[in-house]
Amino acid sequence: MAGRRTMADAPLLRLSGLSVRRGMRTVLTRVDLKVASGEVVLLVGENGSGKSTLIEAAAGILPPSGGSVEHSGRVIRDSEGRRSQPPPFGLTLQQGGFCEDEVVYDRLATALHVAQRRIDPRWISDRLDEWGLRHREQDRIAWLSGGMKRRLAVLCGLTPGLASPHEPRLLLLDEPSEGLDEQSISTLREQIVGLAAAGHGLLIATHDQQLDDLASRRVVVARQGCMEEAVEAPERAGPVGVEVAASEASLVSVFSTWRTLLGGGWHAPDVRRLGPGAVALVVLMGLMATNSVAVDEVPGTLMAGLILLPGLIAALVRPSSLQRLSDPGASDWWSAMLGRRPELRPELSGIGTIAVLTFVSLYLLSGDGSIHIPVFLAIIGLTLIACAAAMIHGLDATLPRKGATYAFLLTLLLVWPYLSLIVLLDAGSELVPEALVMAYGIPMAVILLLPMLHDG
């Protein structure tokens, strides 16, 4: 139909009347900006002027207080609260953007998979070689120097373009040359020029004058607004990039694979839960032995509380999957790729450890090796507490202000189910309905209600 704009005709990025607030301060006001195929748009301005805010808003990480963000004609976020998964695009944040427990090779493989391309070992090794990282491909990111980490972050941000030379991609880079050596800056320049020649669109926040001559357009970001400056058209070289076969995998499955990939070692759920719970059990046994306390001298309610305490401590441990998202920028990067905050869900991994700790605690502290229905009810209750605690940790990890007081208060709420489980265990064969409702009801309410707050 004549005059109708299609997604194919739309720019790779369009910001329409975009306003963004950080806390009580308005950082960006009614910004209109677009990045078309083949363009390199530089964002320049003083520190604190809002360049990084603009990049993060363009990636869909920050919610607009006004206006909308479109990728290839698709609204990915707007001021009315709508949010959708964007087409594959590249993103390099100013800090991190990855979990430092990841292996270098696996990190680039993840970036390739998120770009909806199949894992190609030869392609990955060649790109790492171009950036001087091939000799470290089996090392954890945490073992790299700051400069090497930055090289990897930039390479991952360029990957959607490098792996798709015939499909225009949007690439958002925040201070990509910061911390790079001269050789890496030269590689960056060559690839920016080649990616633009291949039809990709790049939006780059920078204060590095070494990138000035690459710009198709130059936008000055200031508190008063954004103003475009005229630039001379840069010379373009040949396109860069090596095609990688497309992948049918969904981003949700890629994210799940990423979490599973990092699930070993000391981050394994059972290991993370077992350690604190086992320490608590050893301490309790030591206290009883030191004070020569006989089992029959301990009141039933107190004994029930001691038996369940190691399981409770294990239940409250922060899940390993959230620990991986706590590194700088890791949660934000996944939020941008998925078009939503990483999924908040009950963490069932490592739950078996809670049951084992409870059985062992029952035997060692009370000398009773028999298993009764109240013990099973208590284990189910501790499992629900573990799921509820994981939801609280998850909400805390994915909101802008981490470690807020409300998260601590919500965790304290889980003390009441624990006290109710003590009553259930102490009552033995007598079922106490009120305690059962409290023990199961509060964690279930947390599990069901917190996702609403998370998505709101």
pLDDT value, residue 230: 74
Give Cβ neighbours of residue 13 (< 8 Å, ≥ 6 apart). Answer: 33, 34, 35, 58, 69, 70, 71, 170, 172, 201, 203
The phi, psi pair for 222, rounded to 5°, reads -145, 165
Q: Are residues 248 and 290 in the same domain?
A: no
Sheet holding 225-229, edge to edge: 90-92, 170-174, 201-205, 40-44, 217-222, 225-229
pLDDT value, residue 346: 57
CATH number at residue 226: 3.40.50.300
User: CA–CA separation, 171 vs 158, rounded Å?
Assistant: 7
pLDDT value, residue 305: 93
User: CA–CA separation, 155 vs 202, rounded Å?
Assistant: 14
- Strand 74-78 and strand 66-71: the pairing is antiparallel
Q: Are residues 398 and 450 in the same domain?
A: yes
The tokens for 255 are 């994210």
Q: Are residues 209 and 269 in the same domain?
A: no
Domain span at residue 272 reads 263-455
Boundary of a domain, candidates 229, 252, 275: 252
- Strand 217-222 and strand 225-229: the pairing is antiparallel
Q: Are residues 330 and 410 in the same domain?
A: yes
Residue 163 inside a domain? The answer is: yes
Residue 7 inside a domain? The answer is: no
Boundary of a domain, candidates 233, 252, 271: 252
pLDDT value, residue 2: 45
Boundary of a domain, candidates 211, 229, 252: 252
Q: Residue 87 class from Cβ within 10 Å (0-12 exposed, 13-18 middle, 19+ buried)?
A: middle
* DSSP code for 296: G
Residue 87 inside a domain? The answer is: yes
Q: Are residues 235 and 348 in the same domain?
A: no
pLDDT value, residue 38: 94
Q: Are residues 280 and 403 in the same domain?
A: yes
Classified as helix, coil or strand, 80 is coil
Q: Are residues 451 and 306 in the same domain?
A: yes
Give me the number of domains the chain comprises: 2
Residue 6 inside a domain? The answer is: no
CB 115 within 8 A of CB 88: yes
Q: Which residues of the chain have pLDDT under 50?
A: 1-6, 265-266, 456
pLDDT value, residue 269: 57
User: CA–CA separation, 386 vs 263, rounded Å?
Assistant: 18
Q: Are residues 199 and 299 in the same domain?
A: no
pLDDT value, residue 455: 53
User: CA–CA separation, 296 vs 227, rounded Å?
Assistant: 80
Q: Are residues 93 and 188 in the same domain?
A: yes
